[in-house]
Amino acid sequence: MAERLVTFEQDGAIGIVTLRRPEKFNALDIPMLRALETALDEAEMAEGVRVALIRGEGKGFCAGGDVEAWGEMSAADFQVQWVRYGHRVFDRLARLRQPTIAVLSGHALGGGLELAVACDFRVAETQVKLGFPETSIGVVPGWSGTQRAVRRFGAQIVRRMALGGEVFAAPDALALGIVDRVVETGQALAEARTWAEKIAGRGPLATEAAKLMIAVAEGEESAAATEALASGFVALTGDLKAGVSAFKAKQRPAFSRS
C-alpha cells in the first residue's frame, strides 16, 4: 500500500493530522488536498477526539500550493479543480467540530498560511516566517485565506502581506495577532499538545457550540450554523422523545416543553 500523503492518528483526546510530503515542504497539490480532506473526515468522526492538531512533517509546515502542478492545468481546470476544491477542503477544516491548532514548526507561506488561518489557534516556533507572497508570481491567495485573515487579525496586516509582500518572523507575528504563541525551535508540537489537553478538559459539547457561535459572529457561518445549533438543542429535549414515542405508537404526542 502506498504511503498516505496526509495521515490522521489519535492520542487520547487529541487528534493529529500530519502533512507528509517533506521533500516538497508539504506543498499542496490535488492528491494532497484529497488526502487532507480524508484525514479531516477521520478527525471529525473519531470517537473521543476533542481537539485536532494540524502539522507538517519535516522542516516545513506547508509551503502552500505546488506551483509546478499548475502548469499542467487549463484555466478551467485551475478554477474548478484547484480553487474550488481547495476552498472546499479549507472550509472543511474551518468547520471541523473540534477546536484546531496549527503547529508551525516550519514556514507558513501562501496556501500554508491560509491553512494555518483556517485553524482556530496557531503555535509557531521562533524561526518560522509567515506571509502571502502569491502576487510575486502573478496570482492571489485563492483559498479564502485573505478573507479569514482579515477577520482574524485585520485588513491592514493582510494588505502588508498580500500587497506589500511583507513576510513576518514569528515574534512579530505574535505581536500582530497572526499567531497565538511562540516557542523555541523544536517545541511547537509539545506546546500545542499541552494547550490541547487543557482545551480537551473543558465540556466538549459546550466547546463545540462556542466554536460555532464564534464562527457565526465572525461571518464564517450564518443561517446553517444557527439551524445546526437549534436542531441539536431540540434533539436533547423530552419533547423529541415524546414525539418519537407517539409516532411509533401511532398516538398523539403529549408535549411538555421540556
CATH architecture of 6-200: Alpha-Beta Complex (3.90)
Taking 60 as the threshold, does the pLDDT of residue 18 lie above it? yes
Distance of CA 141 to the CA centre of its chain: 16
Name the residues annotated as catalytic: 114, 134
Residue with more model confidence, 92 or 253: 92
Please give the Cα distance from 83 to 2 (Å, whole number): 26
- Look at the block and give the residue holding cell 516550519: 106
Where residue 1 falls among pLDDT bands split at 50, 70, 90? very low
Would strands 100-104 and 108-109 be described as parallel, antiparallel, or unpaired?
Answer: unpaired
Tell me, what's the pLDDT at 92?
95
> Which uninterrupted H or E stretch holds 108?
strand 108-109
Q: Supply the pTM of this predicted model.
A: 0.87
Angle at 257 between CA 253 and CA 258, to 5 degrees: 105
Domain ranges of the chain: 6-200, 204-249
Crossing angle, helix 223-235 and helix 238-249, to 10 degrees?
70
Tell me the per-residue pLDDT of 178-208, one tens digit each, with 9 for 90 and over.
Answer: 999 999 999 999 999 999 999 999 999 899 9
Please give the Cα distance from 94 to 118 (Å, whole number): 5
